[in-house]
Chains A and B, each alone.
Chain A
Amino acid sequence: MNKQEILGIFQDALKKPLSAHLEQWISEGGKAVGHYCTLIPDEIFTAAGMAPYRIRGGGSEATDVADVYLSSHLCTFARHTANLALEGQFDFLSGIVGANGCDQARRAYDVWKNKTKVPFRMIISVPRRPDENSIGWYKEELQSLIAALEMHFSIKIAVEDLRKAVQLHNAIRRNLAALNGLRKAANPPIAGAEAVAVAIAAQVMPPESYNKLLEELLNALRDSQGMNKYRVRLIVSGGEMDEPEFVKAIEDQGGLVVYEDTCFGGRYYEELVSEDGDPLTRIAERYFYRMPCARTDDSFPRRYENLKKQMKEFGAKGIVVQRINHCILNAGHSFLFSQKAKEDGTPILIIDREYLAHGYGQVKTRVQAFIESIESRS
């Protein structure tokens, strides 16, 4: 298959909750378990012989059913995903695992727990201070998850299963990192919106078949023509951002997006799980100490330092900080971004938006102005 054909498969996987690959996996007797946060390790589900599935709102067209439970004062990510769940569109899942990632995801989990037919339900509590006193707690939570999965599904998750799962997910991470590395080139062979779709697909497709396709894509990209029609290279930052259309809206204005500091982006695939020693300990370490998001205590300095480093490596000239309206945690980081921009002059555009808004008229206008302001500096 060529680049466009493989990209087409990844892009199709995002259009509705149940992709063709996952449907096939389930029809062959496989199970999939959904989860709400990148702090819930995929490796545990893979080790259980199940496909990990990151809950997202692709295919959702309304929030009216969820609004009855969550109101219209919560973020549209929580509302769209809960809406799909209430409509039964996630009924193909054998389970749902929540985390106390944020208040709104917790409440979305309450809706799943009380109002859906998904048979296995659990929430884990992830500490917000990534220090050595708290990692033991996190590992215990993961052990509880394993025990609950074993009991509910009458299975045994052996150490060797976890080890193999670590190897598979590390392979995916390496390949996604390699793909991302290609975006450092002056004329990258893949657009930001395309790369984003590839990374998101990793989180909703069965991992083995996904990885094979990803390797094919990497091969196809070797012969692919580079992109040279852009005005400014940009980084997109924020929490949830699983809409290639949003990135395309930026790129349509001449901003080439080269890196994503987001939960579905860099935070998902960067940093490997060490393959030495006890696999569950190593999994806990990777997820607990990885580049933090806005829910983590005092995470902004580390995150901002990383962004400055990535700007240099990817040749980016500005950062688009996007936040879904009502997201309180990222409102905190947006505030800190705005203070930093004043302090060190880094071009930062802060956009508050709705999830799955489509059209992105306001985004386009603001990005145009942002690009012009960056160009006028040079």
Chain B
Amino acid sequence: MAKVAFTQNIQRHVACRETVVSGSSVREVLDKLFTDIPRARTYVLDDQAALRKHMSIFIDGELIRDRVHLSDAVTETSDIYIFQALSGG
């Protein structure tokens, strides 16, 4: 199963511990993840279920390409990182 880790910055809003989740795409992984942590969904995805503008997801060190449908492939050994882009003040 893929390993999923979150940015530290989300932790003060929603506790999101590192976990393992099955799924063959980013969408499938996130859907399962948010079944366990429902409050995290709106912190990562916008109202259209696309990745929020200033969030980023890496799979094995590569930024995902499909931020709208989240169709990038995930394997059993993938390391997934859900980060925020650095911006703001």
A is bound by B: no
Measuring CB to CB, which residues of chain A are less than 8 angstroms from any residue of chain B? Answer: none
